[in-house]
Amino acid sequence: MTRPDRGDADGKPRAWGVVVALAGAFAGAVAWSVVTGPVPLSLREVVEAFRHVLATEPSRSPAARVVLELRLPRALLGALVGGALSSSGVAFQALLRNPLADPYILGVSGGAAVGALTAALLLPADASLPLPLCAFLGAALAAAGVFLLARRRSGVSRERLILMGVVVGAFLNAVIMMMVALSPPGKIPGAIYWLMGDLSLGTLRRVGLLVPYVAAGAGVLFLLSRGMDLLLLGDEAAFQTGLPVERVKTAVYLTASLLAGSVVAVSGLISFVGLIVPHGARVLVGSGHRRLLPAAFLMGGTFLVAADILARSMSASGELPVGAVTALAGAPFFLYLLRRNGGKP
C-alpha cells in the first residue's frame, strides 16, 4: 500500500513522447495538405517550388504558384487557426472550470460576426478596413464588454462570466439575424461563407500578420499554465495555494479572447475545434497545462488541416466550408460528452 512504485513519476516521459509524436503529425498534415489538391502535382514539383523560394529566385512555373500562393498559405492558416482555437479552448475550460466551454462561449463569435457583417454591408468594397480587421474589432469589443459586465468589486466570478457571455451572445445573435434579414440581396454572400468558417481567405501576407498574434497568445498562455492548473481547484483553494487569482484570471481571459478573436477574424467561425481538441489532448497527456497546451495546439492544427483536406476533396465541383466538416465530426463528440457527463455542466 505504501510501497512507492518507481518509474515515470508523473507520467512525464510518456506524455512528452506524445507531444513529440503530435508534432510529427502536425508537420505531416501540413505537408500532406500542400501536396494534395484539385491540380495534380508531383512531389518533385512541390519540392522544386520550395527550392526556388529558399534560393530566393522567383519561379514562374504554375506549379510553384499553386503551391506558394494557394496551398501553403492555406495549410499554414489551418495549422495556426486550429492550434490557436484549441489553446484558447483549453484556457477557457480552465478559466470557467467547465469542460463544455469553448473559445466562443463568451461572446467572441457574436462580436466577430457582427463586425464582419458590418464590414460587408456598410463599407464600400474597396474600403481600407478589410473584413478581418472589423471582425477582430467586433470580437475584442464583445469580449471586453462581457468582462466588464461580469466584473464586480470582489472580482470576476465564473458564473457571472458565463451568464454575461450568454446574454451578450444572445443579443449579438439577434443583431446578426436582423442584419442578414434586412440586408439588400447579394450584399453578404461572402460574409455568410465566413460565418461558416472558411480557410480560403489565407494569403501569405495574412498568415504573416496572424503569426505574431498566435505566437504571443499561445506563448503567454503557456507561461500561465501553472496558474491554470491551480484555477482547476476553484478560486478559494487557488488563492490559498498562493495564486494571485484575479490577476491570473484576467490575464487568461484577455489572452484567450485575443487569440480566438485574431484567428476568427481571418478564418471565420470554425466551430468545435476549440471544444473537442482540448478533451482529446487531455486523454493523451492529462490535465497539467504545461503539457496540455502544446499537445492541444499541435492536435488542433493537425485536426483542422486534415478537416480542410477533407473539405476540399469531398465535393468535386468546389469545396465545403471547413466549419461544416469540423462540426460534422464535432457534433457526435459533443453529444457523447454530454451523455458521459450526465448532463452536468
- Interface residues with another protein (CB under 8 A) are 1-5, 9-11, 93, 97-99, 223-224, 226-227, 229-230, 232-234, 236-237, 239-244, 282-283, 286-288
Q: Which is nearer to another protein, 127 or 223 (CB)?
A: 223
- Kindly tell me which of 51 and 226 has the beta carbon lying closer to another protein: 226
Instruction: Using the minimum distance from each CB to another protein, give the nearer residue, 100 or 216.
Output: 100
Compute the distance between CA of residue 173 and CA of residue 187 in angstroms, rounded to an integer.
19
Minimum CB–partner distance for residue 7 and another protein (Å): 10
CB of 249 to another protein, least distance (A): 13
CB of 170 to another protein, least distance (A): 25
In the bound state with another protein, the residue whose beta carbon lies nearer, of 240 and 313, is 240
CB of 162 to another protein, least distance (A): 14
Q: Give me the least distance between CB of 248 and another protein, in Å please.
A: 9
- Comparison of 289 and 312: residue with beta carbon closer to another protein: 289
CB of 24 to another protein, least distance (A): 24
What minimum distance in Å lies between the beta carbon of 295 and another protein? 13
**Which amino acid, residue 166?**
V
Q: Pick between residue 2 and residue 317 the one whose CB is nearest to another protein.
A: 2
- Return the number of the residue (110 or 278) whose C-beta is nearest another protein: 278
Distance CA 57, CA 55 (A): 5
Cβ contacts of 291 within 8 Å, gap of 6 or more: 15, 16, 19, 285
Please report, for residues 26, 164, 181, 226, the alpha-carbon distance to residue 292 in angstroms, rounded to integers and kept in the order given. Answer: 15, 28, 42, 11
Q: Mention every residue, 6+ apart, whose C-beta is less than 8 A from residue 320.
A: 311, 314
